[in-house]
Structure 1
Amino acid sequence: MKYDFGEAIDRCKTNSLKYDFIEERGYPADILPLWVADMDFKIPHETAVAIKKSAEHGIYGYTEPKDSYYRALSGWFEKHFDYPIRQEWVLKTPGVVFALSLAVRAFTKEGDAVLIQRPVYHPFSHVVLNNDRKLINNPLVLKDGKYCIDFDDFEKKIVENNIRLFIFCSPHNPVGRVWTTEELTKIAEICIKHHCIVVSDEIHCDFVLSGHKHRILSSLSQEIADNTILCTAPSKTFNLAGLQAANIVITNPELRKQMYKELTRTGYSQLNSVGLAACQSSYEYGEGWLSQLKEYLGENLKYIRHFLAEHLPQVKLIEPEGTYLLWLDFRETGIEPSELDEFMKHKAKLWLNSGEIFGKEGLGFQRLNIACPRTYLEQAMIRLKTAIDSLL
């Protein structure tokens, strides 16, 4: 089946977080939202059919996945990442962020330190601070247009702060790194050496650019797997964020027991029936859709890359290796970093994510979501150029 990712679909009046709360935030009515990481594309046809079938049944009682659900999940990860997943390893949660918070509570106590690597997906800091833990940062280092890990500082922070939990983003949101096997191994070995559990958020694993390869952290060795909480979900891959379904993979039975105990404390028990159907169908039948989508996203990236180089060279694209999120450096535009977000929203009328929410290391940056029809990006670039040109 051929999909039309260029189709502009009106998402207003659907309770869309991206589109329906503009006035409440005090932004211009005609602002173009390119921020939160969901896609402006219809889901795979087979997934829509599965959702419709579930809805038309008319009864929405308690549900529990059957073996076919786990076969679909395992089959996807085995085919794409050479990592089959056993049913007994899986804990189901309504989302990855929910699972991150569970891990913080399961494996640390109030006042304990938890490590992250800023600039990074902002809920990482929220789940630490909101659970009354101490936030420790191993900042990523930007060198020659590429972010790297300072491993000396990484190990030093773990030792000095008695870190027992590290929240890792792979592929990395927002900087777009797809970590190499060597980098992953070094991270894992340092954490094992110092008895630090790794919670690995790999929700963007299906979006990797040509020339790069995503390795599931748990796939590197049994020892590494047994020290890792692997967080996955179909929500980013198949645009299902609103259906609240995630799969947390834990090979170590003791860690799994601790996570399950914390899960039961929340009162959460089952996935919702529609989310379950959508997740299974997507993993079973969504490959063709995803293949076409990635081609379209690749062309979107080429468009942005060419436009910035040709018309706005002072806005630097941090070349992505994965995800559909672009990390843009505005520090050479002459706009004060503290005023950049106001400029973008009220002058350019573009709603991107302010880099500062990802940590102070993101000051002067913006995150752009390119999972939208290209016409949206064309309009965005015209608005951006017009606004920046007006400063000259």
Structure 2
Amino acid sequence: MRYNFDEIIDRQNTNGIKWETLQDIFGATDLLPMWVADMDFRGPEPVMEALKQRAEIGTFGYTQRPDSLYEAIAGWVERKHHWKINKEWICWSPGVLPALIVCIQNFTKPGDRIIIQPPVYPPFFKIVKDNDRELVTNPLRYVNNRYEIDFEDLADKFRTTGAKMLILCSPHNPVGRVWTREELSRIEAICEEFDALIISDEIHADLAYSPFQHIPMASLSTRAADRTIVCFAPSKTFNLAGLQSSYIMIPNKELRNAFNKTMARGHLAMSNSFAITASESAYKDGGEWLEQCLAYIRANIDYAAEFFALHIPEIKMINPEGTYLLWLDCSRLGLDTAGLRRFMVKEAKLALNEGISFGTEGEGFMRMNAACRRATIEEALQRLLKAIEARR
């Protein structure tokens, strides 16, 4: 079927953070919300229909996960990412962040050092510190409007700090890089040299744009699989974040048993009825929707890139290879962090994510969500242009 991504979806009164917390977060309600990383689109029709049928049964007791769900996940991963996984590798978590916390608690000790690569997803900073581990940063290099991994610094940080773990963001949020096989192989080689565990957050795995191809970290080799825990979820792919379900691939049996034991001890291993239904349906029948959705978002991204280049050269957009997030270099505006925040909220009337929240390396940047109607993108850019022109 043909999906209409221009359809107006009223997200008010759905308890959605993105649209209903503007006053609390930004101090204003007249803003266009383009911050939280979820989509403004209605999900795949097969998923909506499956959820309706499940709801009509009228009972919502404790659940088990059927073999058909495992088969749907394995089939999707093999078709989409060319990685043949075993059923027993699949573990469960309410979300990727709870899984990351369990990994930190299980496989490091208080005081151990953990490496992240900023500018990066803000909770990475918090979950390391909140669990009494020491944060070590391996900042990405911003070169010619593109981000690269500083491999020499990564090796040096392992060598000098004795870090036990790397939390990898792949594809990377917010800079939009889809790491190449060569880049991932270099990461794995460094982690092998220093006997470090890789926790790979691959929640945006399904959102890579041609010709870029996401490669699961653990699919590189048996050596990589032995020291890697891969975190996947249907949430970003099919706009199902509110159902709170993710699956964690752990090929290493010892690591897998430890992870599952902690999840069971915390009574976190059970999935809700709708998450099971939606996930299975999405992985079986959501491919057509995703293909059309990615084409629509890519057109939004291309529109924004052209608009910035032609009308707002003061802001440089990092063209994403994956994700639906636009990383905007606003440094030419000459504003400090507080000034840039005021400009976006008070003058442009936009609710965006502040770059500084992704680490000091994000200072002077803003993150904009492009998974929305074209009309929303157009309105946002016109608001931004009007505010910029007033300053010119």
TM-score, normalised to structure 1, is: 0.98
> Which runs of structure 2 are paired with 1:133-172 in the superposition (5 Å)?
133-172=133-172
> Which runs of structure 2 are paired with 1:36-115 in the superposition (5 Å)?
36-115=36-115
Equivalent residue number for residue 243 of structure 2: 243
In structure 1, C-alpha distance between the alignment counterparts of 2:141 and 2:265, rounded to whole Å? 38
Deviates more, 1:336-345 or 1:287-296: 336-345
Deviates more, 1:191-200 or 1:21-30: 21-30
Work out the percentage of aligned pairs sharing the same amino acid.
46
Question: Secondary structure at the residue paired with 2:4?
Answer: coil
Contact 2:26 2:345 (C-alpha < 8 Å) held by counterparts: no
In structure 2, C-alpha distance between the alignment counterparts of 1:110 and 1:334, rounded to whole Å? 41
Question: Secondary structure at the residue paired with 2:231?
Answer: strand
- C-alpha displacement of 1:261: 2.2
Question: Secondary structure at the residue paired with 2:43?
Answer: coil
In structure 1, C-alpha distance between the alignment counterparts of 2:206 and 2:61, rounded to whole Å? 32
Q: Deviations over 1:305-330 (max 9, x none)?
A: 11101100110011211110010000
- C-alpha displacement of 1:23: 2.2
Contact 2:169 2:201 (C-alpha < 8 Å) held by counterparts: yes
Q: Deviations over 1:97-146 (max 9, x none)?
A: 11111111011111111110000001111110111110100000001111
Contact 2:337 2:356 (C-alpha < 8 Å) held by counterparts: no
> Which runs of structure 2 are paired with 1:187-226 in the superposition (5 Å)?
187-226=187-226
TM-score, normalised to structure 2, is: 0.98
Equivalent residue number for residue 325 of structure 2: 325
Question: Secondary structure at the residue paired with 2:17?
Answer: coil
Question: Secondary structure at the residue paired with 1:262?
Answer: helix
Contact 1:27 1:346 (C-alpha < 8 Å) held by counterparts: no
Deviates more, 1:21-30 or 1:4-13: 21-30
In structure 2, C-alpha distance between the alignment counterparts of 1:197 and 1:382, rounded to whole Å? 46
In structure 2, C-alpha distance between the alignment counterparts of 1:349 and 1:260, rounded to whole Å? 45
- Matched residue type, 1:12: Q
- C-alpha displacement of 1:262: 2.1
Contact 2:301 2:319 (C-alpha < 8 Å) held by counterparts: no
Q: Deviations over 1:45-71 (max 9, x none)?
A: 000111111111111111111110000
Equivalent residue number for residue 282 of structure 2: 282
In structure 2, C-alpha distance between the alignment counterparts of 1:26 and 1:331, rounded to whole Å? 21
- Matched residue type, 2:90: V
- C-alpha displacement of 1:13: 1.0
In structure 1, C-alpha distance between the alignment counterparts of 2:365 and 2:19, rounded to whole Å? 22
Equivalent residue number for residue 345 of structure 1: 345
1:263 aligns with 2:253: no
Contact 1:18 1:36 (C-alpha < 8 Å) held by counterparts: yes
In structure 2, C-alpha distance between the alignment counterparts of 1:53 and 1:98, rounded to whole Å? 30
- C-alpha displacement of 1:335: 2.5
- Matched residue type, 2:272: N
The number of residue pairs the alignment matches comes to 392
Contact 1:244 1:275 (C-alpha < 8 Å) held by counterparts: yes
In structure 1, C-alpha distance between the alignment counterparts of 2:84 and 2:63, rounded to whole Å? 24
- C-alpha displacement of 1:207: 1.0
Identify unmatched segments of 5+ residues in structure 1.
none
- C-alpha displacement of 1:26: 4.9
Question: Secondary structure at the residue paired with 1:317?
Answer: strand
Contact 2:26 2:351 (C-alpha < 8 Å) held by counterparts: no
- C-alpha displacement of 1:210: 1.7
- C-alpha displacement of 1:251: 0.2
Across the aligned residues of Structure 1 and Structure 2, the Cα RMSD in angstroms comes to 1.0
Contact 1:338 1:363 (C-alpha < 8 Å) held by counterparts: no
- C-alpha displacement of 1:298: 1.2
Equivalent residue number for residue 305 of structure 1: 305
Equivalent residue number for residue 272 of structure 1: 272
